[in-house]
Amino acid sequence: MGPFRRGQGGLKLPPAMPRYSPRVDCNGPCRRDTPEMTALPPPGPTTNEEETEPVGSSPGVPARGNVIAWSVLALTLVLTIGGTTLILLAREHRLDNKFEYLVSDAQANAEARLQRYDQALSGVVALFDTLERVPERREWASFVTAMDLSHRYPDLASIGFAQVMLPEEVPQMVDRVRGEGFPDFRVTPAGARDRYSTIIYMEPMDWRNRRVFGYDMYSDPLLREAMDRARDSGALAVSGPVKALHATVEESAPGVIAFLPVYRTGDLPASLAERREALLGFVYTPFRASDLFASLLRAPQPALEIRVQDAAMDDGRQVLFTSENWEAAASGARNSRTSVEVAGREWLLDLRSNGNFDELMGTRNPYWVAGGALLFDFILFALVVAITGQRDRALRESAAINLALRRSNDRLSCAQASASIGIIEYYSKTKEIKIDDVARKLLGMSSTGLLTLESTLANVHPEDIQKMMGAHQSDDMIPHESTYTFRVTGSDGVTRMIESSMICERDKHNRPVGYTSILHDISDRARREDQSQVVRTAWENISDALIIMDDKFRIIDVNPVFTAITGYRKEEVMGQSPRILKADGNDNEFYRELLRKLRREGYWQGKVWNKTRDGELFAARERIATIRDAHGKPKCYVAVVTDVTESVEQKHRLEKIACTDHLTGLPNRAQLHKDLHASMGRAQLFGRAMAICYIDVDGFNATNERLGQTMGDELLTLVANKLKSLARPSDYVARIGGDEFAVVLNELLDLNECQAHADRILCGVRGTYTLSDRHKVYLSASMGISLYPRDDGDPDSLLRHANQAMYLAKENGRDRFEMFDIEKRKVEHSRRRQVQRIEYAVQDNEFVLYYQPKVNMRSGEVIGAEALVRWQHPEEGLLAPARFLPLVEGTAQAEAIDRWVIREALQQVAIFQQHGLDIPVSVNIDGGYLQSPNFVSDVQQALAAQPGVAPAMLELEILESTALTDLDTVTRVIKECQELGVAVSLDDFGTGYASLTYLKQLPSNTLKIDRSFIIDMPTDAESRSLVEGVINLAQAFGRKVIAEGVETDDHGLMLLRMGCEYGQGYGIQPPLPAEQFMEWVQHYDWPDAWRREANNVYWLHGAVNRQTGNS
């Protein structure tokens, strides 16, 4: 209602009480002089006789007049009932169409959201396709972060990757993940399985996602079924309902997980077997069923209630989601059930209208119309009776008319109450205000109490009161008709919007004498208008272009973004076909197939290239939906066009970055693999050869350390430019990594041509390079070549073979090339595997020391022991040194073994001493280790680690042949060790052809006669002579001599008689473990033959002394 203001004459009703919308014409029922308004009962009682007196009850009334009146009434009632029935049927038909539209829209929105999930996962799969491997963790995190999930894909809480692997691959994967900063990482749940699909990557890596870090998805049958389906189809697959699996799936509601397979080959393999073989893992994202229908659930007043069930479960009815008011909306609701395929899984989608549905439709109650029509029927009936009646029945007819009018007024009051229309009347003369019950309710007033200005305006918003008061400061300013809207806050705290239509009646002096206001609650209409404004705002501000087309595919509306993307103004495209955007790359068959699918399925989406008004091409993702009429025929089409040009270009840039070396601009290893496929195909097609030249710059690491990384990078760039200048037009150059390059030679006739080009390239690389800081660096390169199809295989094996040949060129002197030879490589590969296994044995402490005693054969005393290494192989048992030491001779592994032997021997000497045994221990030293710069310092560190062991308790045994390779270096090392107090013996003496000069220069403490001479002594005179000569030579140079290979007592007797007292061999004792060795020493008893020989020598020595007079 309009605001009341207090004037000089008392209360005055100001202008413009709101009236029902749509506006009522001033000549209509709102005017005071119409029958409707005069039908309001005047003050004063009404007698029962007047109310009950029937029309035409008096005798004498002509029967014809009654017949006409009743016929007119019957006809109008029939028309009213028929019209009301048609209105009700039309209303129900419209509601059914709207309900079907909302159901279709819910399905379309769900499919669109699922497509967004597919789009996001496909983008991640593209990372794997680009790299052609599993990305590193930092690459994964960087890529997913760049996707900007929170803005571009707000529905996705996280994206993860589960790698598929065999049981034997799991430990290696666990070690790798732990090495990346997750020491507690493990595969869950525990238990043996034939295959694992373990979550190793996820973003964001928050505390929720860490709950499932390492979870084996193959352990869950529902998840495994979905992953197997995705693997076999190569498309998106959704799992059955799961609970509390992933941090983004609330424990209180079942969720599902969408999987997209990742293949090692990048592209989708052709056959099912190839897909299963090439499977690398799955990119996945979790979501709930409610996420697919968020557009309905998040609406301010959702008009539908939803229930989603998984039809593929055993019981056939597994509820995935039920909206909050599903059960409450059951009474009188419209229902729909449809089967929806969601990424290979069947869902049952039940939708039901709720109380907001009719409000959303904005339909008016047809019974209002029926009430008005009935009112008109009875008024017409009364008028006919009055016109056809006789003059002598005027009073009774008048009473009957009044009675009919009062009844009509009652019906009008009922209609007003039904339609929530309130009436306020104000009479200027009596200062009386009349407010009906509906008006009181609309104004939030109580049904009792004093009617005053204050009580009338108590619940009206103050701002609206001020607005209306300010519009009418005097009577002259009050118009004849006026309309206002104002806000009223009821006792329930809800604010409603009221529309007041007011008519001001004036006297002949143009002074207001009365007012009539009709109040109507327009809150629903205002809300619908606000919603319409929201839709329009979204239409104008959405980031995608929207196109509406009629059933003939003629454009009937576009939004502003369409103009921004295409350059076409709205008026330019109205009535046009969307083919005005057609690019030349899209043929007519493409559009015909689009139309067929659109008519058949009602929906189409895909990527197309379009062109703007200026002819520029742009990539677009289009989604087109069909809107159907009540008969199921297409009524119009809605297209959503997203400009994805930047995304496509970004993908191309990323692919280029991923395939190009950033330093040299050459193709990188990933691109090289792709190019090799093409080169191999051309070689097969044209019957030519193709070669991969694997090039490594000689000595680059030392140069890089000397000049710094900046100059090193510049040097690599110069080498890359040189290689490009040496390549033919049919060849191409790539950088593999570090200082390694590859040159692919195409269209070769034979091996000779390949070798000629290899020589030319090495000669071109060889030379001096001048850097920007004027440094001049001389470089050469080593090259390994794999020739196809002589070396048949895939690009990986060809590149690996060329790499192996390159290392062979390095070993053979560098600055040369080597061709890959499969047989040599097999032998070399076997040796390298054995060497690697020996390296692991050192790390795993699989070596042990055995000790062979050295004795004084004359006195029976144990004077020392030689430490001999053995390999306690976990599978083959105890292995002798001949099984493994020759493989590592001269390598870093040999040094590691010798270093371990020295430390272990000194530690054992300390243990001997604790048991009362002072037994020196000798160890064998590899020649390469002996001449290494760190050898003496390693010996010092080993001695320092055992401070209780004197250096003299350690003896180093070096081969005579080793000593002769670099006499000066070996002599210096021996002297430095002797300065430490360590003894040195020359092992296998007699096999190295040392001259007397060499023997004099080598400052060894002991000579050990090679066992081959000792063994042959009893039967070979030459061996006896050689042994006797060595013994005499040692005595002449003041060296102690020990004989190896004492196998029998005869060997010892012969040596004693030659003057050699010290012996070692299996005849004395084979090598023993440390504990057994200590026990053997305590119980050792020398042979009787040696004892007798020693006594004879002592007796003979005494007799000689007595004859010469010596004591």
The one-letter amino acid at 1089: A
- As to burial, measured by CB atoms within 10 angstroms (0-12 exposed, 13-18 middle, 19+ buried), residue 642 is middle
Kindly list the distances between the CA atom of residue 773 and the CA atoms of 285, 709, 712, 769, in Å, as whole numbers in the listed order.
53, 13, 12, 11
Residues present in the chain in total: 1111
pLDDT digits (tens, 9 = 90+) for 901-951: 999 999 999 999 999 999 999 999 988 888 888 999 999 999 999 999 999
Mean pLDDT value of segment 349-363? 70
Percent of the chain with pLDDT over 70: 83
CB–CB of 540/638 below 8 Å?
no
Q: Residue 2 — φ and ψ, nearest 5°? A: -75, 160
The most confident of 79-93, 386-400, 627-641, by mean pLDDT: 627-641
CB–CB of 418/368 below 8 Å?
yes
The whole-number pLDDT of residue 11 equals: 31
pLDDT at residue 608 greater than cutoff 80:
yes
pLDDT digits (tens, 9 = 90+) for 492-530: 888 888 888 888 888 888 888 887 888 888 888 888 887
Comparing 605 with 265, which gets the higher pLDDT? 605
The strand ranges marked E within 992-1095 are: 1006-1009, 1040-1044, 1062-1064, 1072-1073
Structure tokens at 58: 């008096």
The whole-number pLDDT of residue 335 equals: 83
Q: Which CATH superfamily is domain 545-650 in?
A: PAS domain (3.30.450.20)
Nearby residues of 1074 by Cβ (< 8 Å), 6 or more positions away: 849, 851, 908, 911
Q: Residue 13 — φ and ψ, nearest 5°? A: -90, 115
Give 138's pLDDT tier (boundaries 50, 70, 90).
confident
Of 773, 644, 637, 665, nearest to 721 by C-alpha is 665
Q: What is the DSSP letter of 460?
A: B
Kindly list the distances between the CA atom of residue 718 and the CA atoms of 126, 373, 564, in Å, as whole numbers in the listed order.
34, 98, 48
Mean pLDDT value of segment 34-57? 39
The CATH number of domain 419-541 is 3.30.450.20: yes
The CATH number of domain 843-1105 is 3.20.20.450: yes
Structure tokens at 192: 């043996």
* Neighbouring C-beta atoms of residue 1020, cutoff 10 Å: 13
Q: Find the angle CA(879)-CA(881)-CA(883) to the nearest 5 degrees.
A: 65
- Beta strand 345-353 pairing with 421-427: unpaired
Fold of 104-291: Beta-Lactamase (3.30.450)
pLDDT at residue 165 greater than cutoff 80:
yes
pLDDT digits (tens, 9 = 90+) for 879-910: 999 888 888 887 888 889 999 999 999 999 99
CA–CA distance, 1090 with 1094 (Å, rounded to integer): 6
* Neighbouring C-beta atoms of residue 46, cutoff 10 Å: 12
Give 377's pLDDT tier (boundaries 50, 70, 90).
confident
CB–CB of 288/156 below 8 Å?
no
Helix/strand number for the chain, H first, E second: 40, 38
Of 11, 96, 885, 862, nearest to 428 by C-alpha is 11
The whole-number pLDDT of residue 163 equals: 92
Structure tokens at 970: 């070996």
What SS3 class is residue 192?
coil
Kindly list the distances between the CA atom of residue 606 and the CA atoms of 107, 321, 587, 639, 1014, in Å, as whole numbers in the listed order.
18, 30, 15, 11, 90
Report the chain's terminal Cα–Cα distance, integer Å. 152
Q: Which residues pair with 607 in a beta bridge?
A: 621
Q: What is the DSSP letter of 102?
A: H
Spell out the CATH class of 659-820. Answer: alpha beta
Structure tokens at 696: 């490594």
CB–CB of 283/124 below 8 Å?
yes
The whole-number pLDDT of residue 366 equals: 65
Structure tokens at 829: 């590969």
Give 477's pLDDT tier (boundaries 50, 70, 90).
low
Q: Which residues pair with 1041 in a beta bridge?
A: 1007
The whole-number pLDDT of residue 301 equals: 57
pTM metric for this prediction: 0.36
pLDDT at residue 868 greater than cutoff 90:
yes
Torsion of CA 386, 387, 389, 392, to 10 degrees: 80
